[in-house]
Structure 1
Amino acid sequence: MSDLAATGGAAARAGGSAFPGVVLRIAARELRGGVQGFVVFLLCLALGVAAIAGVGSLARGLTEGLQREGRVILGGDASFSLIHREATAQERATLDAKGRVSGIAAMRAMARAPSGDSTLVELKAVDGAWPLVGAATLDPARPLADLLAERDGVYGAVVDPALLARLNLKVGDRVELGVSTFELRATLEREPDQLSAGLGFGPRVLVSDAALRASELLQPGSLVRWTYRVVLPGAASDDQVAALIADVEREAKDAGFEARSRLNAAPQLERNLNRFTQFLTIVGLTALIVGGVGVANAVAAFVDRKRETIATLKSVGASGRTVFLIHLAEVAALGLLGIAIGLAAGAAIPFAAAWALKDLLPLPLAPSVFPRELALAFAYGALTALAFTFWPLGRAHDVPVAALFRDQVDPGRRWPRSAYIVATVLAVAALATLAVYASYDRRIAGIFVVAAIAAFVALRLVASGVMALAARLPRPKTVELKLALANIHRPGALTPSVVLSLGLGLVLLVALTLIDSSIRRQLSNELPQKAPAFFFLDIPSAERDAFDEAVRRDAPDAELNSVPMLRGSFVSIKGQPVDEVSVDPEFRWALRGDRGVTFAETPPEGSKVVEGEWWAKDHAGDVLVSFDRRLANALGLVIGDEIEVNVLGRTIGAKVANLREIAWETMGINFFMVFSPNAFAGAPYMNLATVAFPGGADDARELGLLRDLTKAFPSLTAVRVKDALASINVIVGNLALAIRAASAVTLVASVLVLAGALAAGRRRRVYEAVVLKTLGATRWRLLAAFAAEYALLGLVTAVFGLVVGSLAAWGVTSNIMRIDFAFDPLGAGFAALVSLMLTVTLGLIGAWRVLGETPARHLRNL
């Protein structure tokens, strides 16, 4: 009692002014009792902050690893790429004047084994200077030039071990590529510049540039990328690399080079890493918001436990503001402790990942302590703590001493004064603003913020609705149900806490489950049914008729469709250089690198002209182009606007003649840009063809057709849809595993909040149980009443989570991913069942502890 008196005296001396020193001294004295009742508070903050700090730090470590190893990943200080054609002698001389140069050709081809089996491979032809930076790991370890050299008319090849497994071959066997035979002389265990190439659909095959030319795979218009890596003399600075790129673009301005420096060695990988990081950060933020409910519960319980102290402070003259600041200081100190624990755990994650995954992670990881990422996680944690603290702490500001004591038997609903409501709103607004402006894609972050606020409000309304309904329902005859309904709507009920904590986590869990099932159904069921069996690339125009005849002979019932195909990159839009064009982030990909283009006399199948008119079949005037309407709108293009595209090293200007709506779901051959035929008069080009079996075909028939066509047309490249989808399925499966692991953080936070809510209400439950047991209620009857209460709350939460999670999944799949939504009742139902079981199980565990209390000990204190 002496401590309490001293505290009251100090508060009274502070009076209404609440001097900071006095407030902090009183708060420190109050905290001497330890953190009892704040374990869930600490864990909720630590868990959410650790998730955000860990994801951010790991992503930053990977990004810095990519930048640190950028020279090795790129294969030089800078690279310059062309599609379809090699650099001219003059262009090559420009590059040679800058430093050491290595030329590489990359394309897809078909490798044919002596057994007749064939498979798609990623073919890479290198010169004697490759690799300029880094080293390839080969088995057996011999000089690369010897392994790739010609011996007795047969060139050597170094291959990915996956090719040996796929075609049942071994080192020393032979395969055919184009018209040439290659001896497999070694396996490629590590390729230094593999990451810069992006995603591949087949095993790597490494050959010499001379071997590629002998294979006759290089035809006019072949889909091949020529890349020239340049290494500057000495230890070149970033400014020197930038100057190199600027000089080449100025001296060879008509070449159409796609330039890349060591600072962005794998841009597509970095973009995907940023997107995935944002998603995982959002998941972590969801866990933090769910944990915020636990923070609010813990603070409310803290205020409840401090009634006598608050009453004493006010009775000796302390103002409501002083009381608020004292307890805010206590909560802030504990909040900082929880955030510090989370930051420490998050900072350790990159180091743990580097140690545990050193032999599995295909990306360079540079673990370190990253202040910016930790500061961002700190800001998220601090704003979340404040957003969920002001309201429950503020409710005690204007409550008279008598009301604080009366709360033990008649707890009334009170709103805090307007200052605390405004402070709560400002904290929430700051948290939302930070989530949007710190994200990679602000549009997606904005959608998340709006959805999170809407879900939070909806859950609170659901909880209020359930309480109101329970209060108005007829009283059942069964005592247990009568007690359960009374517990749901009584003052101080656990209903809001249970619905909020489990509801938010369940919405996320159901949404992710249904998104995953929709993607898998699209890949495994719908796409194979809609998509053709094969895509055939690099069909020379001179062989197109022969190819068509071969397909109709071997598969007379198959549907064959073919169109010309070239690759081009934007040079300017409406007279503005493409680098200066502002475009919606969703469509920024269109301006990066090269795009597939074609020409046609009539609109492609599966597309409909919605603005403008199609050109005449014999059009011979200005070059015209037809655009996909969504892409045209994103680029700000209207009928009559002009664009420039570099195709085959030639810049072609065209006027927008019409806009189309493309039904991509038909899986027909379509392009975002279709030119009038006079655009490429006399230009060499290849054809793209699809072959589909309307009634489906078994593997034996598909593989038989593939074997016959690749043998008859050696330069042909075939992509079997089933194989491509299988590769994508593996990637999707790995991503889904990572997403589920991250989502488990939210589920753990939900469980913690639920456990905290039950613990926070334990004092009142003990009081009620003691009274009921004194009046003759048995332990099992009370346990049944509690079980019914938690089952009803869990059921309501499960239904809400199913409905809202399904709507969220539908919105993401239909409007963002643009795939068909597939409801998976088994997966969603399992998630809802888990939620129901958690509610009942944790509730009964808490109830059993409550019912284990002996009435005498508590009645003695009443």
Structure 2
Amino acid sequence: MEWQIAWRLFKRELAQGQLILIVLAITLAVLSVTGLARVSERLQVAINGEASNFIAADRIIDSPVELDSQVLTVADELGLAHVTNMQFNSMVYSGDKFQLVTVKAVGEGYPLKGDIELSNGVTRALPSKGQAWFENRLGGLLGYPKSIELGNSELSLTEEISRLPDAGFNPFASSPVLLIRLDDVAATGIIQPGSRVTYLYQFTGNAEQLTAFELQAKPLLNNSQRWVDVQSGDSPIASAVQRAERFLLLASLLGIALACAAIGIAAQRYCQRHYDVVAMLKTFGASGKQIRVLFGLHLSLVTLLGIVLGLLGGLLLDIGITAFLPPEIAAYSPPYLRPVLLGVSTGLISAFMFSAYPLMRLLAIPPLRVLQRQLEGLQLGMWLHLLLSLAAMALLGYLYSRSLALTMTVVLAVLLLGFLLSVLGFVMIRFGHGIGMKTTNPFQLALAGLRRRARQNAVQLVGFSSALVLLLTILALRQDLLNEWQKQLPENAPNYFLVNIAPEDAKPLNDFLSLNHINATDIYPVVRGRLTHINDEELISGKQAENGAEGRVGISRELNLTYRDTLPPNNKLLEGKFNQAADDVSVESGVADRLGIILGDKLTYSIDNQSFSVKVASIRQVQWETLQPNFYMIFTPEALAPFAYTSMASFHLNDAQLAADGSLLSANQVVLQLIQQFPTISIIDVGAMVEQLRQIIDQVSLSLSLVLALVLLASALVLIAQTEAGMATRQRELAVLRTFGASGWLLRASTGIEFALLGAIAGLLAVIVAEFALYMLKTQVFELVVYMHWPWWAITPVAGAVIVAILGVWRCRQLLNMSCSEMLKAG
């Protein structure tokens, strides 16, 4: 019986348009979450897929010993493609010349991702047996011989390598690379028990395979084996990818917040529409159980319709946006399952948890309302409504983002908005308390309307402010991220590194760079040393700590140290003063946090078996993503004067470079001249990596722009839904005012002013909450510079007033054009 009544009520109200608002709100919620989830997951997979070319695979296991065969068996069972490589250092000989090289022995199938760039083109082939491909630096150092000796083998040098896809970026690893087949290693006789070898096992597959492999393989690894992916520190774009992924998660999370705001508004309006229906049903003898079942079924039908429409809209949105994406991004297609499940969960959880309190009020409507329409039944329990709403938002946010920091930031921003509404919004709306119902002045009439609808306006402010907060937050973060990346990779970013610069070559090298109009960084001395004590407490290695040794864990390797009198570019002083006294040292903030180093600490180092101590005078923040020399520790020249050093620098070389004699030379010609003049200096070409990195950043920028457009669309829909919510009450008031002789001009002006005031208040609240949210996000999630957006404080209230006034007047245009009799009949 209840099912039949619920179905008839649903069909009738749907045909009459009475369910449009709540169906639109649920549809918006599911569409936003499904669409944003699908688009952001596609972009995340594409960004990671393109970025994985930097490591020539999706995942790598780096091991000093051969990998347990059980791990490879797991990879085979999951259908992952994999290849085994070895890397070790050795001397090669050609006649009376010799050179230390990094031998990269690769298995069949290498590279799994990306291409090998040779001087004569791009290939995915490998050297033939008995052949070796060489990095261009090695050819210059050995005089371009036809063959070389490596251990017991003689290898033909057949191709010159411009770049390997997994070359990585380590300017201190100055040995040129020699690429051979893995099958040729045994014949060299170099690898013996105890030899220092790095085994690199590369894997590639789809997201599900990789996730399953990570879960099964990681427990099988020992402490000396490392799991590497594009987000590990080995990747030069790790920071960019991680920040982009966090931004996409945040944007989708804010989409969920928008959807929740829309459903909360619509649920309240839905229940208000049925107050009279419940009163009549109770008057005709319906029991409380029958009414609960009736409206539970009715709300379920509404929710189901909204979910179906939202899922269809989300999938169409994904198809539409994919059509405009570059082919390399559109080619990636993650599974539909998670976005669809997330959309359905969002529709169900938000619809019922945001409707719980309004539904309680609806079911508590007394039968006497049939005679006295001002009766509304249950008035207590608003705390329950707020608790359920916050719980729903937090649950959905965490289910989506799986990030407690992001979820808590959004929840705290909502709490702050609620607090401000209870203080600032309430005071400003009550400002018109003594104005009454004067109709001679549209401004006074607008203030009176704000006061009469204080509760309804507070709900509207939530919707307006939420939309503006989300827009401001997304807009600011997108711009800050783009600015950060552009600063890291300007057009003249260094594309060559010079290492092993002897002290006597520093001045001639500077002269060469100046004469050839080459834009270079300063030349940085490099001294290898180990940090042994902090405040006279001996440091232990991570391995010693794992074996049960007690003490402070240090850095289990030698560091590259430098000295300098002035703060380097791309370094920001956080604490103290930079190197004032001879025994001062400046420490990078990350390593300071990791080792618990503070200002004034005494650090002891060992260099060439000599110990010396310095005092921590400053803590620096370093932008590691910039392709310029950066260091953990910077000393004064006096502190490192007793020790031998080599130097390094980086520079930018144009495709066509003006030479010292005024002629134009290609970049290769300039590099060749440099090699000939300074044969002991090692030159590392990172130009191809810079270009690939720039392409990844361009794709990330496109991703941020698309997500911003989606949030703009969702915000506009929330504003429209919010404006729709108060139309019934406003229609009755306009009818009364027309009856008492108010002119059409007065009503139009007062309505516009009332909406403008609401928009201005919402804009002011939005700025306050957005500044708070941005502070939390920048300090806790994105690690960006915090600053105030002062123009917002003037622009946003004005923009809010204009946008909300236009929306409000546009939505009320039919009411404002009606005659008094038409309004009374419609009401």
Does residue 663 of structure 1 match 2:613?
A: no
Q: Secondary structure at the match of 2:328?
A: coil
1:283 alignment counterpart: 251
Give the counterpart of 2:368 among 395, 402, 406. 402
1:739 alignment counterpart: 704
1:551 alignment counterpart: 510
Alpha-carbon contact 1:77-1:261 (below 8 Å) kept: yes
| TM-score under structure 2 length normalisation | 0.66
Partner AA of 2:27 in structure 1 = A
| TM-score under structure 1 length normalisation | 0.64
Give the counterpart of 1:768 among 733, 741, 754. 733
Q: Secondary structure at the match of 2:362?
A: coil
Partner AA of 2:355 in structure 1 = T
- Report which stretch shifted further, 285-294 or 480-489: 285-294
1:795 alignment counterpart: 760
1:622 alignment counterpart: none
1:495 alignment counterpart: 457
1:39 alignment counterpart: 20
Tell me the CA shift for residue 850 of structure 1: 0.9
Alpha-carbon contact 1:488-1:495 (below 8 Å) kept: yes
Tell me the CA shift for residue 129 of structure 1: 5.2
Tell me the CA shift for residue 312 of structure 1: 0.9
* Higher RCO structure, 1 or 2 (CA under 8 Å, sep 6+): 1
Over residues 707-764 of structure 1, what are the superposed CA-to-partner deviations in whole Å (9 max), with x where a residue is unaligned? 978833564547999x999987775565344334323333333332332333332222
Distance 2:820 2:259 in 1: 34
Alpha-carbon contact 1:565-1:685 (below 8 Å) kept: yes
Tell me the CA shift for residue 507 of structure 1: 1.4
Give the counterpart of 1:303 among 267, 271, 274. 271
Does residue 131 of structure 1 match 2:131?
A: no
Distance 1:596 1:47 in 2: 56
Tell me the CA shift for residue 490 of structure 1: 0.9
Give the counterpart of 2:9 among 30, 36, 39. 30
Distance 1:81 1:641 in 2: 35
Distance 1:662 1:296 in 2: 48
Give the counterpart of 2:647 among 687, 694, 708. 687
Q: Secondary structure at the match of 2:718?
A: helix
Partner AA of 1:672 in structure 2 = Y
Give the counterpart of 1:853 among 812, 818, 821. 818
Does residue 365 of structure 1 match 2:332?
A: yes
Over residues 222-252 of structure 1, what are the superposed CA-to-partner deviations in whole Å (9 max), with x where a residue is unaligned? xxx99865699xxxx99999999999x88xx
Q: 1:555 to 1:485 in 2, by over 3 A?
A: same
Q: 1:773 to 1:602 in 2, by over 3 A?
A: closer
Distance 1:259 1:298 in 2: 48
1:453 alignment counterpart: 415
Q: 1:315 to 1:690 in 2, by over 3 A?
A: same
Q: 1:474 to 1:400 in 2, by over 3 A?
A: closer
Tell me the CA shift for residue 500 of structure 1: 1.6
Distance 1:428 1:747 in 2: 23
2:186 alignment counterpart: none
Q: 1:48 to 1:658 in 2, by over 3 A?
A: farther
Alpha-carbon contact 1:480-1:785 (below 8 Å) kept: yes
Partner AA of 2:272 in structure 1 = D
Q: 1:53 to 1:684 in 2, by over 3 A?
A: farther
Tell me the CA shift for residue 144 of structure 1: 5.1
Q: 1:388 to 1:636 in 2, by over 3 A?
A: same
The percentage of counterpart residues that share the same residue type is 17
Over residues 43-78 of structure 1, what are the superposed CA-to-partner deviations in whole Å (9 max), with x where a residue is unaligned? 333333333334444566688899999999976898
Distance 1:517 1:76 in 2: 31
1:387 alignment counterpart: 353
- Report which stretch shifted further, 732-741 or 27-36: 732-741
Tell me the CA shift for residue 380 of structure 1: 3.3
Distance 2:399 2:215 in 1: 29
Alpha-carbon contact 2:33-2:343 (below 8 Å) kept: yes
Q: 1:853 to 1:81 in 2, by over 3 A?
A: same
Over residues 559-602 of structure 1, what are the superposed CA-to-partner deviations in whole Å (9 max), with x where a residue is unaligned? 845131779999x9955549989xxxxxxxx99xx999323689
Q: What does residue range 629-640 of structure 1 map to in structure 2 within 5 Å?
A: 630-634=590-594
Over residues 192-211 of structure 1, what are the superposed CA-to-partner deviations in whole Å (9 max), with x where a residue is unaligned? x95x667999xxxx997489
Alpha-carbon contact 1:42-1:335 (below 8 Å) kept: yes
Partner AA of 1:687 in structure 2 = S
Tell me the CA shift for residue 791 of structure 1: 1.5
Distance 1:70 1:708 in 2: 30
Q: What does residue range 247-646 of structure 1 map to in structure 2 within 5 Å?
A: 276-318=244-286, 323-324=291-292, 326-346=294-314, 357=325, 359-361=327-329, 365-370=332-337, 372-403=338-369, 406-407=372-373, 416-418=379-381, 421-422=383-384, 425-426=387-388, 428-433=390-395, 435-436=397-398, 439-459=401-421, 461-472=423-434, 478-491=440-453, 494-519=456-481, 537-542=497-502, 544-551=503-510, 560-564=522-526, 576-577=542-543, 597-599=559-561, 628=588, 630-634=590-594
1:222 alignment counterpart: none
Where structure 1 has 5 or more consecutive residues not aligned to the other structure, the ranges are 1-21, 107-122, 159-173, 212-224, 582-589, 619-624, 693-698
Distance 2:666 2:326 in 1: 43
User: How many residues are paired up?
Assistant: 731
- Report which stretch shifted further, 35-44 or 60-69: 60-69
- Report which stretch shifted further, 505-514 or 807-816: 807-816
Distance 2:603 2:399 in 1: 35
Over residues 254-301 of structure 1, what are the superposed CA-to-partner deviations in whole Å (9 max), with x where a residue is unaligned? xx7756599999988899767644533432332332233332332333
Distance 2:49 2:771 in 1: 43
Give the counterpart of 2:632 among 666, 672, 676. 672
Alpha-carbon contact 2:56-2:111 (below 8 Å) kept: yes
Q: Secondary structure at the match of 1:688?
A: strand
Tell me the CA shift for residue 329 of structure 1: 3.5
- Report which stretch shifted further, 479-488 or 728-737: 728-737
Alpha-carbon contact 1:46-1:341 (below 8 Å) kept: yes
Tell me the CA shift for residue 806 of structure 1: 3.5
Over residues 810-848 of structure 1, what are the superposed CA-to-partner deviations in whole Å (9 max), with x where a residue is unaligned? 454456544444566678876665543321221111221
Alpha-carbon contact 2:25-2:262 (below 8 Å) kept: yes
Partner AA of 2:277 in structure 1 = T
Q: 1:266 to 1:449 in 2, by over 3 A?
A: farther
Alpha-carbon contact 1:609-1:660 (below 8 Å) kept: no
1:11 alignment counterpart: none
Tell me the CA shift for residue 546 of structure 1: 1.0
Partner AA of 1:778 in structure 2 = S
Q: 1:447 to 1:157 in 2, by over 3 A?
A: same
Q: 1:656 to 1:812 in 2, by over 3 A?
A: farther
Q: Secondary structure at the match of 1:131?
A: coil
Alpha-carbon contact 1:536-1:717 (below 8 Å) kept: yes
Tell me the CA shift for residue 854 of structure 1: 3.7
Q: Secondary structure at the match of 1:671?
A: coil
